[in-house]
Amino acid sequence: MCHMPTRFMQCLLRRPGRSYRRPGWRTSACHHHWQSTARSIWQRPAASWPIVAARWRAKEEITQHRGEHRGTVVAALSIMPHVGMLPFALKALRQRYPSVKLQVIEGLFPDAEGPLREGIVDFYLGAAPRAAPAPGLAMHKLFDNRRTVVCRKEHPLCCARSLKALQEADWAITGVDYDVEDDIARLFESHNLSPPRVVLQASSAMSIMVSLAHGDLLAMLPVQWGDFPLTRDTLQTIKKSARGTEVLPAPSIVLVQRPDYPLTHAAEFLADVLKRFGLSS
């Protein structure tokens, strides 16, 4: 099945009547030319998308090299970069490339792998996949990460002082590529405790925020959630001292891209800024 990249749809299939108020546009030869071009692009086989994407990327690279800061950056980010890196990087990108459009996709590596290979997504930054990517993609480890237990403010267990006290709580987990439920089970079993109940699985930051803020669920989330401005007044972490000395490891944070597709100046700038804030978090 052919997947039409968003950036191409916007350029080739946007409604001319809304973008241009020139009389007679809809019946002009130019309008019919663009319709014909859009149809021919849409009918391309999926295997040809990397060629089209490479040409588009080269055009944007030349434009940005000339100092014309236009184009599009498409970044796929997991939940952790959304919480601990993106809020700080957005301002820097807007200041450096005010006319560049940023398209952010939330998801894990399996969600981004296909678009990465097709050249539709510039890079993936987030939790490392369970298995290394197949040839054709380069993965660079940025740093190790840790988890913490998160709950809503004034949760009945917010001041718990032992893992046993959290055993009877209902838990929420994130992601589908990582067996977070198994991680929780192994943590409790290492203290001779039965695994707790997992009653909710969320695939987005918004889902987990709403679920925790409006219920008595607990979740193991990246430590960066403790400083996230949007949840600072509604969610809190259960301090490490409350759990003894155990460390709650999280997947490493990695950057994945196609080595044969050099990033445009704007995409490289965004990736560098995200990495800088991630390492300092």
φ/ψ region of 277 (left if φ > 0, alpha if ψ in -120 to 50, else beta) reads: alpha
Per-residue pLDDT tens for 182-234?
A: 888 888 998 899 999 999 999 888 999 999 999 999 999 999 998 888 898 99
Average pLDDT score over residue span 138-156: 94
Residue range 7-28, pLDDT digits in tens: 433 443 333 333 333 334 344 4
Cβ neighbours of residue 218 under 8 Å, at least 6 residues apart?
149, 150, 151, 155, 157, 166, 169, 170, 171, 172, 196, 212, 238
What pLDDT does 66 receive?
52
Cα 114 to chain centroid, rounded: 15
* pLDDT tops 70 at residue 49: no
Is the pLDDT at 140 greater than 50, yes or no?
yes
Query: Does the fold of domain 146-250 match that of domain 46-143+253-280?
Result: yes
pLDDT interval class at 149 (50, 70, 90): very high
Question: In the chain, what percentage of residues exceed pLDDT 70?
Answer: 70
**Every domain of the chain and the residues it spans:** 1-44, 46-143+253-280, 146-250
Residue 60 has a pLDDT of 56
Specify the pLDDT at position 133.
93
* CATH superfamily placement of domain 46-143+253-280: Periplasmic binding protein-like II (3.40.190.10)
**Residue 177: predicted pLDDT:** 62
Q: Give 279's pLDDT tier (boundaries 50, 70, 90).
A: confident
**Other CB atoms closer than 10 Å to residue 272's CB: what's the count?**
13
Q: Is the pLDDT confidence value at 59 over 60? A: no
Least confident range of 98-112, 164-178, 196-210: 164-178
Query: Residue 151 has what pLDDT?
Result: 96
pLDDT > 50? residue 2: no
The architecture of the domain spanning 146-250 is 3-Layer(aba) Sandwich (3.40)
pLDDT confidence of residue 39: 40
d(CA 137, CA 261): 10
- pLDDT, one tens digit per residue, over 73-93 is 999 999 999 999 999 899 999
Predicted pLDDT of residue 163: 86
Write down the pTM of the prediction.
0.73
CA distances from 249 to 125, 147, 165, 183 (A): 18, 6, 21, 9
Does the pLDDT value for residue 257 go beyond 60?
A: yes
Mean of the per-residue pLDDT values of the chain? 78
Q: Can you tell me whether residue 124 is helix, strand or coil?
A: strand
Position 181 pLDDT exceeds 70: yes
